[in-house]
Structure 1
Amino acid sequence: MVSLSRLVAICVALGFAVAFGGSASAAVDTLVSPAISTSVNKERFGERVSSTPHDPSSPLLPTMASTPVPASIVQATTPISSPTAVSVEEGIPLRVVAPSIHLDAPVVPVGWKHVVQDGKVVGMWEVADYAAGWHKSSALPGQPGNTVLSGHHNTAGEVFRYVVDLQPGDPVFLYTEQHVYTYTVVSRFILRDKGMPASVRRENARWIGTFPDVRLTLVTCWPYHTNTHRVIVIAKYDG
């Protein structure tokens, strides 16, 4: 299994070329463009609550080139561990705005389905159409943990098409019924995912797992025509 430090090192060396894409070769192949660099504060943004690898039964990163799903709330099969239902009054995200990339999109809760990969049943996150999808088992905005949003970049509204262009220092605003939460981008990188072994995909999926700090993670695919890599953008909470 590729270590987290190895993944971060690869991302730093090869830069941000956001999106899901890439052909499969060995474990984690070279990532795309070296033109954009990235940095990750390992102490604050690179450590999970648990040092154990991502649970093989936990949902993997979403597949963006999936069969279209309803734009309102994506239907999913019964999850491995059913998250508690959250009402609007309890602060679920309703809208995401990133002025630097002209992103202003509704947010809807999404769940996951069970699929078979490499002869094993794994969870796979659904992706909302014409909206960003809030992973309903992830943290609420402003709360300790990882608030995860995913979205299409080349179909069904392309709401996350320009997430690849987010730069460290760019603000991202997450709206609920009662409050606007402000985040600042601290890192972005891409991971080869399509066609990779299940162990690598599980390692990639740790970025949408649990962390002790208050953070926002945006997930989409790249490049535009092949979806071979996953783009991960991490933003710290400002208030």
Structure 2
Amino acid sequence: MEISRPHLAKPLPSRHNRLRFTLGNLFMFAGVYLLLYVGGIYAQIEYLRYAARGDTNVEAPRVVMRRPPASTVSTNARPQPTIASLPQRERIVSAPASAVTSGQIATEPPDPVRAVHISTVERVVIPSVAIDSKVIEVGWVVEEHDGRQVAVWEVAEYAVGQHRGSANPGEGENIVLAGHVGGYGQVFRDLYYVRPGEEITLYSAGEAYRYVISERLVLDEENAPPEQRAANAKLIGPTGDEMVTLVTCWPPTGNEKFTRRVIVRAFPAP
């Protein structure tokens, strides 16, 4: 006759083991959440880069780098022009140091006529350095600097930005396009390597416009005196002649990161 043995209950886990189990699960869930969160961020960045490419059919990402709200006096809402607000060559001022180090440009606030001008450039292509990007309009934020009002220009994060109020192709004036050399978009990462004689094509209002690069300038900005910064900024002002002015920072890395400007100028192709 078989004698049954009494069933012995498993000992309950100790408080220390329960704590380890709970913490292990918490860390596991936190790791999964962090992985999904970071993965989502990278996926969004890659999508925005894709959307900014000129050869895609999705809408251009209208993401811009702006100045902190605390320093803002007013933003660039489109005012209605008046008879007295005639176009004129803008006065140029030196940029606040914080704007320079972040790669932004400062000028006198543009006049109301320029503020209501509609930008129409949609795409810029520079085959020699494999640049092909959508273009969005960018404006400015007005702030106080040394007792004066200064317009600090926004910079498109992923696409190229056409300065609001700058000319469109065929209007006989300066077409100003700016973009990041670093950051997420890096749209003008290779602009430094263009050479005179190479072509730029702008697409505007359904038409293609060809331009030939005449010069590429590398100018000191962060460590330059105010007069030099003002002269640099003058290059994005009205010129009286049709041209394209492309602007970015240089170099993208190192101890002198973003301390210079690369300015590329191009004129209509013959």
Q: What secondary structure sits across from 1:153 in the alignment?
A: coil
Aligned to 1:208: 236
1:196 aligns with 2:229: no
Q: What secondary structure sits across from 2:166 in the alignment?
A: coil
Q: Structure 1: any 5+ residue segments left out of the alignment?
A: 1-49, 68-78
How many residues matched? Answer: 173
Q: What secondary structure sits across from 2:239 in the alignment?
A: coil
| 1:81 alignment partner, one of 101, 111, 115 | 111
Find the aligned partners of 2:241 and 2:220 in 1 and give their Cα distance. 26
Find the aligned partners of 1:104 and 1:64 in 2 and give their Cα distance. 26
Query: How far off its partner does 1:137 sit?
Result: 1.1
Find the aligned partners of 1:165 and 1:80 in 2 and give their Cα distance. 31
Aligned-partner residue type, residue 139 of structure 1:
A
Aligned-partner residue type, residue 91 of structure 2:
D
Query: How far off its partner does 1:176 sit?
Result: 1.5
Aligned to 2:200: 172
| 1:217 alignment partner, one of 227, 241, 245 | 245
**Conservation of the 8 A alpha-carbon contact between 2:245 and 2:263:** yes
TM-score normalised per structure 2: 0.58
1:231 aligns with 2:262: yes
Aligned to 1:65: 102
**Bigger helix share:** 2
Aligned-partner residue type, residue 131 of structure 2:
L
Aligned-partner residue type, residue 100 of structure 1:
S
Aligned to 1:97: 125
**Conservation of the 8 A alpha-carbon contact between 2:250 and 2:258:** yes
Query: How far off its partner does 1:102 sit?
Result: 0.5
The one-character-per-residue Cα deviations of 1:136-158 (angstroms, maximum 9, x if unpaired) are 11111122110000000011310
Query: How far off its partner does 1:80 sit?
Result: 4.5
CA RMSD of aligned residues (A): 2.7
Q: What secondary structure sits across from 1:216 in the alignment?
A: strand
The one-character-per-residue Cα deviations of 1:168-220 (angstroms, maximum 9, x if unpaired) are 01110000132000001010111111143333211111111111221000000
Q: Structure 2: any 5+ residue segments left out of the alignment?
A: 1-87
Find the aligned partners of 1:167 and 1:199 in 2 and give their Cα distance. 27
Q: What secondary structure sits across from 1:208 in the alignment?
A: coil
The one-character-per-residue Cα deviations of 1:42-83 (angstroms, maximum 9, x if unpaired) are xxxxxxxx9x9x6146989x747369xxxxxxxxxxx55232
TM-score normalised per structure 1: 0.65
Query: How far off its partner does 1:121 sit?
Result: 3.1
Pick closer, same or farther for the CA change 1:150–1:172 going to 2, 3 Å: same
| 1:129 alignment partner, one of 146, 157, 161 | 157
**Conservation of the 8 A alpha-carbon contact between 1:56 and 1:122:** no
Find the aligned partners of 2:203 and 2:239 in 1 and give their Cα distance. 21
Relative contact order higher in (CA < 8 Å, ≥ 6 apart) = 1
Where do residues 109-120 of structure 1 align in structure 2 (5 Å cutoff)? 109-120=137-148
